[in-house]
Structure 1
């Protein structure tokens, strides 16, 4: 979840506290300056400034840090569950998209203060610098993936008896369904976009053909679009303390409104 083109939702989601405090300070000055005024227009502006101050404090200093935050999906790594692609041909996936779709989601930041993340949940987290494959390991990007394994689990990616590459969790193949041709998912809690290819061994260093046992506070995450996802197979386990929250709802576009599974 590291957008190439920043939209209004992403801009608001990442607006720093410093800017919020500065804006609240300016609005407070405006409100105080208009206190002596008797005109209807001045009173309306003063009331608007007061409302904006209250809204900014509630949203940016209380709601966003502790409860709910909006995020924008920029890439295809979680398709078909979360859509994030532009119109046109994408050579990486050999897909010609007729239109652009970028889901906007609400993330529950409170839930993991009350309990630990569970297998199968979609989580948003601050990835370590080693996960920054595009920027040469310089940045700590915010990413979104599905939680595959939790502390105490053993995860391995290998060929199943049917010849397909599969995720094995604690010695058993993970039950997953490939999405229908139209991208829909039926008869399963969630679907992956396509059967998983065998990653290049020089790139997939973790759990590829060798069991990986997760220690305390270690998580293993993967994208639902297994063949186009930068995840734990390539940069290892995710520390528990880097989890931001749980993806709960798609709220935009309107045609995509739904609970996230």
Structure 2
């Protein structure tokens, strides 16, 4: 009887440690996000599951092309997370002219952008310089994205994490470590 109780106790300790580790990793290191909109189409689709890293050092090591998850800007009055692509970094000059993107006066080739004809809309932030501790972000589906063209740059302290890979659906698993995919 003592042996059975000690086995249950040992199993209970293992389960508690595993659950504790899971919650620590989920809260501080890695997490999963479910995509609801199509602003990142064709790279990411609605209902895709994304694994993203939350470690704070990624905020200071972002590259153009990285996909990030961040809190919706306050001016949108929405309690949700956004996923967008980093287009310009601190001190970069950006310009979007008739659907063509320029960073520091150089045209940027974007192979990941939805290839629908660009609809010229009036956005308040299509030209400027990225401020200190912020990034300029855009969705890959430029005709259907609520992004920095509307709410300007994203503060780094609002960034939750960097997208590493799509884990669902299983037949579409993809690693996003290279900023150009």
TM-aligned CA distance change 1:169 to 1:256, over 3 Å: same
TM-score (normalised: structure 2)? 0.86
Other-structure match for 2:13? 50
1:151 to 80, 90, 93: 90
Q: Which has the higher contact order (CA 8 A, sep 6+)?
A: 2
Cα distance in 2 for residues equivalent to 1:78 and 1:114: 20
Give 1:115 deviation, angstroms: 4.0
TM-score (normalised: structure 1)? 0.61
Cα distance in 2 for residues equivalent to 1:198 and 1:64: 40
Report which of the two structures shows the higher radius of gyration computed on alpha carbons.
Answer: 1
Q: Retained in 2: the 8 A contact 1:153–1:170? A: yes
2:69 to 124, 138, 142: 124
Other-structure match for 2:26? 64
Other-structure match for 1:174? 108
Structure 1 runs (4+) deviating above 4 angstroms are 37-40, 42-48
SS in 1 for 2:160: strand
Which runs of no fewer than 5 residues in structure 2 stay unpaired?
none
Q: How many residues align?
A: 176
Which runs of no fewer than 5 residues in structure 1 stay unpaired?
1-36, 85-101, 160-164, 178-190
1:250 to 166, 173, 180: 166
Cα distance in 2 for residues equivalent to 1:172 and 1:232: 19
